[in-house]
Structure 1
Amino acid sequence: MTENHEHDHEHITVVDEDGNEELYAVLFSFNSDEFEKSYVLYYPESAEDEEEIELQASSFIENEDGTQGELKPVETEEEWDMIEEVLATFLEDEDEE
């Protein structure tokens, strides 16, 4: 179903519709063969020390040169279900380490 789990805590800058920039830490990213997309789960850098963190999830389209890309909203309930399953597996793996 999914492959290529990464968790190296990279950072991304997200620009909202008003042009405001916010720095986010990447929890992990993965590819889905089922939906033929890449996904990234991330959270506000400012929330790193908080007990509860609100995660964001987006599909990700990388530029051809690999330098930047575009975040797209998750479009379907099926995609959300798959993301939740991958997140649950990721969290289980983290607990075992």
Structure 2
Amino acid sequence: MAEENKTIAVTDDEGNEHLLDILFTFDLEQTGHSYMVLTSAGEQQDEEEEEEEEEIEVYAFRYEEKDGEDAEQALYPIESDEEWDMVEEMIETLSAEDQI
């Protein structure tokens, strides 16, 4: 797992740009892919909010790093239920460890 503390811009299917904070990335041996977990920019909880146990909405994508000047990352949707189950389990495990 790698913690990023970085904000990226993601364009949706309708051409709208959204700023998202990278919570963490991880690899799954079972799928051979890397995954990125994001939340809307500015929605990460600080320590006082964590005590209130508010949930934040997170998004997960499969990603591949592309070589280039800015080392872009290409995000892809997670399509199969089996892959979602594995990703969700990893998110829950990492979230419990980091108390996102």
CA–CA separation in structure 2 for the residues paired with 1:73 and 1:23: 17
TM-score, scaled to structure 2:
0.78
**Which residue of 63, 74, 79 maps to 1:75?**
79
Which residue of structure 2 aligns with residue 39 of structure 1? 35
User: Deviations along 1:40-76, whole A, 9 cap, x unmatched?
Assistant: 0101104335833111111002112361121110011
CA–CA separation in structure 1 for the residues paired with 2:57 and 2:15: 22
**Which residue of 9, 15, 18 maps to 1:13?**
9
RMSD: 1.9
Structure 1 unaligned spans of 5+? none
Which residue of structure 1 aligns with residue 64 of structure 2? 61
Structure with the largest fraction of strand: 1
Structure 2 unaligned spans of 5+? none
CA–CA separation in structure 1 for the residues paired with 2:42 and 2:98: 22
- State the secondary structure of the residue aligned to 1:6: coil
List 4+ stretches of structure 1 deviating above 2 A: 46-52
What percent of counterpart residues are identical? 33
Matched, 1:30 2:30: no
Matched residue count:
91
Question: CA offset at residue 92 of structure 1?
Answer: 2.4
